[in-house]
Amino acid sequence: MDIYESLLNHYQRMAGALEDKALAAKVFPSAGSASRQDLLRDFLASHLPPRLNVSGESHIFDSEGNISAPIDLAISSDLVLHYQQPPKDFHCLEGCHASIVMKETLDRENCREAMKRIATIPTMPEVPPGLGILFAGKAKNNMMVRVIFAFDGAEPGETLDEMGRFYGEYQVPDSAKPDIVIVNNRYGIMRIGEEGAMTADGCAIQPNTFQLFGCVPSEPQIGGYSLLYLLSEIQRASASAMSCNIDFGAYLDQMPL
């Protein structure tokens, strides 16, 4: 048995379960009347390291008082401050390693709404004021993965075109744009990092551009690969954050005594 083929088959089955209720009932114990959004949350909670928490509707805030619009799923570590105000959770920026906006269908309107919500999440300043963060290198804008996840959507070319139009109309910092866009079992899009990239045949890819990393029918198991890619990026972000020594005094300083 090839272990990598077995792994990809496992994640492809997970992607299928997010699409098919009959299969979901066999894969997820909680399937029953659960929504697909709840199933994605269960999938993440069961596959990410135990020290990471998967929360439902959340707001993300920073030490300067900026706070995001509602985010459907937030993944945070067990080493940072957060609090609940049911039914919502609130997470400090430095402790949130992934933020996910979910859509049933990623059409033009939903794509724009998702990008607007992603853009409200505070970004990490190059030198976080008063936080005493000791970086092992440059400021870690990659401490959080920003994700749009949909269960159906427009064709990949249409989505890329709409993203291009949106960011042509609105001035949004690259660090406030989505890192990953997934339309389950259909295609995935990634934002290239600040260093740029190279294609397999040696062509340069410009930094901070959006690139399709796979779609059906040419990659029939793109659903499984996309889920595994999402997990690996969340794991990378959380590991990156562990290299920082964070002092939450700046949050304490904001308290209105």
Whether the predicted pLDDT of 18 surpasses 70: yes
d(CA 61, CA 12): 34
On whether the CB atoms of residues 130 and 178 are closer than 8 A, the answer is: no
pLDDT digits (tens, 9 = 90+) for 185-233: 999 999 998 888 887 788 888 999 999 999 989 999 999 999 999 999 9
For the chain, the C-alpha Rg in angstroms (whole number) is 18
The Cα 144–Cα 235 span in angstroms is 10
Sheet holding 58-61, edge to edge: 58-61, 88-92, 82-85
Please tell me whether the overall predicted TM-score, pTM, comes out greater than 0.75 for this model: yes
| Angle of the 3-17 helix axis to the 36-47 helix axis, nearest 10 | 150
pLDDT of residue 224: 96
User: How distant, in Å, are the alpha carbons of 145, 185, 237, 255 from that of 141?
Assistant: 9, 29, 9, 26
Amino acid 27: pLDDT: 77
Q: Give the per-residue pLDDT at 133.
A: 44
What is the reported pLDDT for 126? 58
CA distance 251 to 70: 21
The angle formed by the CA atoms of residues 100, 166 and 44, to the nearest 5 degrees, is 10
Give the pLDDT confidence score for residue 64 in this predicted structure: 86
Residues 98-133 have pLDDT tens digits of 999 999 999 999 999 999 999 999 987 655 544 444
Q: With a cut of 90, say whether residue 243 has pLDDT above it.
A: no
Mean pLDDT of the region 129-151: 65
What pLDDT sits at residue 33? 67
Percentage above 70 pLDDT, the chain: 89
Q: What is the pLDDT of residue 255?
A: 85
Between the CA atoms of 93, 97, 99 and 100, what dihedral angle is there, to the nearest 10 degrees?
-170
CA atoms within 13 A on the CB side of 122: 20
**Range of lowest pLDDT (68-72, 102-106, 231-235, 237-241):** 237-241
How large is the average pLDDT for residues 154-163? 97
